[in-house]
Amino acid sequence: MEDKTYVEDIDRSLYDFRNADEDAYRLKDGLTEEIVLQISKEKNDPDWMRDLRLKCLEIYQKTDMPVWGPSIEGLDMDHIATYVRKNTKMADNWDAVPAEVKDTFEKLGIPEAERKSLAGVGAQYDSELVYHNIREDVAKLGVIYTDIESALYGEYADMIKEHFMTLVPPTDHKFAALHGAVWSGGSFVYVPKGVKVDIPLQSYFRLNAKGAGQFEHTLIIVDEGADLHFIEGCSAPKYNVANLHAGCVELFVHKNARLRYSTIENWSKNMYNLNTKRALVEEGAKMEWVSGSFGSHISYLYPTTILKGDDSTMEFTGISFANTDQNLDTGAKVIQLGKRTSSYMNTRSISKGGGVSTFRSSIEIRKSAEYSKSSVSCASLMLDSISRSDTIPAMDIRTKTADVGHEAQIGKISDDAVFYLMSRGMSEEDARALIVSGFAEDVSKELPLEYAIEMNNLIRLEMKGSIG
Amino acid sequence: MKMNQLPAFTFAKLDLNFAEPDYEPGKTKEIKITESSVINYNEASDVKLKITAEENKEISVFVLFTARDTLYLKAELEAKKASKIKLVEIDASLNEGRLISDVRGECKEDAKIELVQVFPGLGDIYSDCTIELTGDRSFFESRTSYLSRKGKKTDLNYVANHRGKDTLSEIHADGILKDGAEKTCRQTVNFISGAAGSKGHETEHVLLLGDDIVNKSVPLILCTEEDVEGTHGAALGSLDDEMLFYLESRGIGREDAEKLIINATFNKLLRYIDDEETKEKTEHLLEEVLV
């Protein structure tokens, strides 16, 4: 085996900058009924929401930690502030956003992306949205894209009440309950029947505060025959204490509709990313997930799709890249209920520098899901022998008419391929980076161009200095 | 007792992380085996086989079980340098019988452990097997065929821990689920740091022939070594329409096609049974129970 050298730290200055935010309003650390009620008051919750928060807190306190997955012992809720608000109100033009915050999102390229290629943008800074806007022509189609807090009191209040935390009930797991108790921020999207939104909407979540949590809630309803691509981005500066992200995404995809949900997750490496995403898919509808996980110290992330309607389909394309001090436990779940449903998962995971990467999945094909299909393909790449890469897929099939295929492989970069590229004048570092980019291509080609470029840049950053 | 534990847990809600048959092993009768042997086992007491292959020696052990109630078999295998142990388990249990097989083994340098399991029986099956591939170039090969029937459980677990360099594991399970059958199959290839040059392959093929079936599969690949190659492949489904059409065009109906496939699933293991008397008994058993 060849010796390798490792660069201790990687330049993440694109994401790793922070603001002092001395004027921010911050609730004290910890999780108590008093804190939950204070959040509810700050957010001017309707009564049902306040009651839901309290119920969630009770469930959180009674629920055990998961017995599987990476250790989250380093996360101490007594040292997490669940609500931090910049001293500003949400704006619908960037000029009204405080300079420091605007500068943050400028550095992340959000306003520029909005001008070039997005139908609407929501930007959350710590616990609250600071910017939310939708293009006029898209709004004219009847598309609603707003913050959840506003939607709780507007025309869509009943719709929010009808759907909020019904797909991800607080009893689902401990951090779903935590989310229900302290959620703040996030977006509500409603796409009316038959409306096809040609260019994506994007929400970007930035957690700036040290030792804080972000608990945004994203609720999207794509009505019959409608079509939407929603992009979610997230990042944070690195601190020497734990930060927490326990967001929740609930997606309702109605008959013959299509929703694509793309995420490039690039939290800082002190982040505990305990996020929950779930989609309910009706007859003939299609759910597409594209997921890139690059950041976080610990990640538990398994977008779940419930294929309720006959002939509904789901595709999950994911990549994770675990480097030093990272344990990324990611994958997907699907529950197939309708007849002739189909699911396809295609994932890539890369481990390097002592990082741990786990692909974890579950496929449940219930008795009612006659003539349903499922196919899983997962590949893992180990870039050294101080890292770890695990594949933990599970299948539970309950109808004889199901057709299920599963393939997994794990291996290293071929020395022959590196040698070939070097013989063509490439440095070893570039050769290995190119091979890894090629390995990730199945995922990057699913992303809009600018995000594919971002993903390739991230891979290059992570690969930098990985040889010797 | 708790058995068939996954080396790395999956989601707890799937209830797959281990099995808990309501049985506690009693005092086991220990049988030491150092030569090739045939054991017909139908006694009520639990049994422990201690099988040792000395350096450069090959031994085959054939165990034919007929469980009337619960039979618990513990097998401890030690394959010394350049040796080979073949353990063949054949289950001919009766309807209310239950076989619990717990195999642990260690493979030294250039040694091989081969496990062949023929499970066409009428009762429940719990089978747990963990092999430590400690020696360089050691090899574990496991081939299992099972038929799971109405109200019966088949619960399997295979783990290959690759520790030595250039080790190899081949873990393969083929089975058929009939009406109301419940089956769980766990397979793990675990590449531990230092096992450079190792390879591990898992496959599972399940033919789903009945209604109300429960088929659970968890194929794990765990890896802390860069220079390895691990693969898994699974195919679960009913008879392929094209194959049925082909067979029907040659006068073979669905029912006969199913019988053909079931027989083929088991018959391919017969070539591993190189003791004539056991082979004959197994053929007779298959004719009797695969109707």
Rounded Cα–Cα distance for residues B94 and B72 (Å): 15
Q: Which of A342, A350, A397 to mutate to test the interface with B (most CBs of B within 10 A)?
A: A397
B215/A389 touch (CB, cutoff 8 Å), yes or no: no
Angle between helix A428-439 and helix A415-423 axes, rounded to 10 deg: 120
Domain-located, residue B6: no
Q: Which positions in chain B touch A333 (Cβ < 8 Å)?
A: 11
Domain-located, residue B123: yes
- Give the minimum alpha-carbon distance from B255 to chain A in angstroms, rounded to a whole number: 15
- Give the minimum alpha-carbon distance from B280 to chain A in angstroms, rounded to a whole number: 33
Domain-located, residue B195: yes
Q: Which positions in chain A touch B231 (Cβ < 8 Å)?
A: 407-410
* pLDDT of amino acid B42: 79
Which residue in A68, A388, A404 is closest to B223 by CB distance? Answer: A388
Q: Which of B190, B223, B231 to mutate to test the interface with A (most CBs of A within 10 A)?
A: B223
Q: Which positions in chain A touch B212 (Cβ < 8 Å)?
A: 367, 398
List CB contacts of B108: < 8 A, sequence separation 6 or more.
Answer: B79, B80, B81, B83, B134, B135, B138
- Give the minimum alpha-carbon distance from A377 to chain B in angstroms, rounded to a whole number: 9
* pLDDT of amino acid A129: 87
B266-286 per-position pLDDT tens digit: 998 998 998 999 999 999 999
Give the range with max mean pLDDT: A117-126, B220-229, B251-260. Answer: B220-229
* pLDDT of amino acid A464: 63
A388/B219 touch (CB, cutoff 8 Å), yes or no: no
Q: Around A456, how many Cα atoms within 13 Å sit in the side-chain half-sphere? A: 17
Rounded Cα–Cα distance for residues A222 and A208 (Å): 31
Which residue in A1, A402, A406 is closest to B232 by CB distance? Answer: A406
Domain-located, residue B152: yes
Full-model pTM: 0.93
User: Is some CB atom of chain B closer than 8 A to the CB atom of A409?
Assistant: yes
- Give the minimum alpha-carbon distance from A364 to chain B in angstroms, rounded to a whole number: 9
Domain-located, residue B88: yes
Local confidence pLDDT in tens for the 468 residues of chain A: 444 434 333 456 667 777 776 778 899 999 999 999 999 999 999 999 999 999 999 999 999 999 899 999 999 999 999 999 887 888 888 888 888 888 888 888 888 888 888 888 888 889 988 999 898 999 999 999 999 999 999 899 999 999 999 999 999 999 999 999 999 999 999 999 999 999 999 999 999 889 999 999 999 999 999 999 999 988 888 888 999 999 999 999 999 999 999 998 888 889 999 999 999 999 999 999 999 898 899 999 999 999 999 999 999 999 999 999 999 999 999 999 999 999 999 999 999 999 999 999 999 999 999 999 999 999 999 888 899 999 999 999 999 999 999 999 888 888 888 889 999 999 888 888 888 888 888 777 777 666 777 777 777 767 765 443
A265-324 per-position pLDDT tens digit: 888 889 999 999 999 999 999 999 999 898 899 999 999 999 999 999 999 999 999 999
List CB contacts of B223: < 8 A, sequence separation 6 or more.
Answer: A380, A382, A388, A389, A390, A410, B190, B191, B230
Q: Which positions in chain B touch A389 (Cβ < 8 Å)?
A: 223
* pLDDT of amino acid A12: 63
Rounded Cα–Cα distance for residues A95 and A89 (Å): 12
User: Is some CB atom of chain B closer than 8 A to the CB atom of A248?
Assistant: no
* pLDDT of amino acid A3: 44
Rounded Cα–Cα distance for residues B61 and B59 (Å): 7
Residue A112, phi then psi, degrees to nearest 5: -65, -45
**By CB neighbour count within 10 A (0-12 exposed, 13-18 middle, 19+ buried), where does A355 fall?**
buried
Q: How many domains does chain B have?
A: 1
List CB contacts of B77: < 8 A, sequence separation 6 or more.
Answer: B51, B52, B85, B87, B103, B104, B105, B106, B113, B131
Distance, C-alpha A303 to centroid of its chain: 8
Domain-located, residue B259: no
Sequence-separated contacts (24+) of A452-458 with Cβ below 8 Å: A454/A264, A455/A264, A455/A292, A455/A294, A455/A319, A458/A264, A458/A266, A458/A292, A458/A294, A458/A321
CA distance from start to end of chain A: 12
- CB atoms inside a 10 Å sphere around CB A407: 17
Rounded Cα–Cα distance for residues B150 and B140 (Å): 32
Size of interface A-B (CB pairs under 8 A): 147
In one letter, which amino acid is B41? Answer: Y
Tokens of A304: 């779940």
**What is the chain A residue with the closest CA to B232?**
A408
**What is the chain B residue with the closest CA to A386?**
B224
B155-169 per-position pLDDT tens digit: 999 999 999 999 999
Residue A183, phi then psi, degrees to nearest 5: -55, 150
* pLDDT of amino acid A374: 97
Q: Which positions in chain B touch A391 (Cβ < 8 Å)?
A: 219-222, 232
- Give the minimum alpha-carbon distance from B105 to chain A in angstroms, rounded to a whole number: 23
Confidence class for position B291, pLDDT limits 50, 70, 90: low
Rounded Cα–Cα distance for residues B2 and B20 (Å): 5
Rounded Cα–Cα distance for residues A439 and A433 (Å): 10
User: Is some CB atom of chain B closer than 8 A to the CB atom of A333?
Assistant: yes
* pLDDT of amino acid B260: 86
* pLDDT of amino acid A13: 66
Give which of B229, B217, B278 is closest to B86, Cα–Cα.
B278
Q: Which positions in chain B touch A377 (Cβ < 8 Å)?
A: none
Which residue in B11, B218, B223 is closest to A410 by CB distance? Answer: B223
- Give the minimum alpha-carbon distance from B70 to chain A in angstroms, rounded to a whole number: 27
pLDDT at B121 over 80: no
- Give the minimum alpha-carbon distance from A198 to chain B in angstroms, rounded to a whole number: 37
A398/B214 touch (CB, cutoff 8 Å), yes or no: yes
**What is the chain B residue with the closest CA to A406?**
B234
The residue behind tokens 């009564």 is A47
Which residue in B12, B191, B223 is closest to A66 by CB distance? Answer: B12
Rounded Cα–Cα distance for residues B154 and B149 (Å): 9
Give the range of the structural domain holding residue B197, as residue numbers without chain letter. 12-239
